[in-house]
């Protein structure tokens, strides 16, 4: 995810089933210097979102299969990334449904490219403080590498920080050992085979100081997940 609001560093995901409209938007945004990826249906868009981690999503409402409203709700479950909905529906209730699903803005087709670009700039100005991740009572400043649980600041080593950041980037999603290993240590890492388990144990001991509930859960046979659950589970 980009760390600034200049077009050259921003990644935008377009989820639009009309190939011609999607291509037109892609070309216009590319001309403005944005990095653009495109999906033509809901589930494909969600997969691409997880892979690319864009800074903003342009989301059509009338998608085949999983519609835009449901896609937006699912995006909101895993991210606060800005979402602008694109739709031919211009009724008040349609806009209300879109905004209530978690969209930051709503643009009715047909629209001028200049208006779309202005909406993108406006939404990005309202974007939450860059580099901050939150989940439950966890707070992380990625830029300054500061982590707090509630009012308590945690003293984390480099790999502990990197591991926790990965979980906070994918909250409530089960991460396999292979995925964690690749993202935190890299496949060329040479070391103990149980390094993930060791660092999970380190992290838990620091996160669960006192009577605080467990946040990193073990999912037997699958991996680990950052999720609020009773620590006895």
125-151 confidence digits (pLDDT tens): 776 556 788 999 999 988 778 999 988
- How many residues in the chain? 233
The answer to whether the pTM exceeds 0.75 is no
pLDDT above 90 for 41: yes
Q: Give me the pLDDT at residue 7, please.
A: 53
80-112 confidence digits (pLDDT tens): 889 999 988 776 777 777 788 888 898 888 899
Q: What is the mean pLDDT of residues 34-61?
A: 92
Q: Peptide bond before 51: cis, by omega within 30 degrees of 0?
A: no
Q: Burial code of 18-54, b = ≥16 C-beta within 10 A, e = fewer?
A: beeebeebbeebeebebbbbbbbbbeebbebbeeeeb
Write down all domains in the chain, each with its CATH number in brackets.
7-125 (3.40.50.2300), 132-226 (1.10.10.10)
Q: Dihedral (C-alpha) 26, 32, 36, 42: value to the nearest 10 degrees?
A: -50
Q: What is the mean pLDDT of residues 43-63?
A: 91
Q: Give me the pLDDT at residue 187, please.
A: 62
């Amino acid at each position: 995810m980009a760390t600034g609001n200049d077009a050259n560093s921003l990644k935008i995901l377009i989820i639009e089933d009309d190939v011609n409209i999607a291509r037109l938007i892609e070309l216009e945004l590319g001309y403005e210097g944005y990095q653009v990826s495109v999906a033509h249906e809901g589930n494909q868009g969600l997969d691409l979102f997880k892979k690319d981690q864009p800074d903003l999503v342009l989301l059509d409402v009338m998608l085949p299969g999983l519609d835009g409203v449901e896609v937006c709700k699912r995006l909101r479950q895993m991210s606060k990334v800005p979402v602008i909905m694109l739709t031919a529906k211009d009724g008040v209730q349609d806009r209300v449904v879109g905004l209530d699903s978690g969209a930051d803005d709503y643009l009715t087709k047909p629209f001028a490219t200049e208006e779309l670009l202005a909406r993108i700039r406006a939404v990005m100005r309202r974007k939450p403080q860059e580099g901050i991740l939150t989940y439950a009572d966890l707070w992380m400043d990625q830029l300054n590498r500061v982590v707090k649980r509630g009012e308590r600041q945690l003293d984390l080593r480099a790999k502990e920080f990197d591991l926790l950041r990965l979980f906070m980037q994918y909250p409530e999603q089960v991460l396999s050992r292979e995925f964690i290993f690749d993202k935190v240590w890299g496949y060329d890492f040479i070391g103990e085979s149980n390094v993930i388990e060791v660092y999970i144990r380190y992290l838990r001991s620091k996160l669960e100081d006192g009577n605080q509930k467990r946040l990193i859960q073990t999912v037997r046979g699958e991996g680990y997940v950052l999720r609020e659950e009773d620590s006895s589970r």
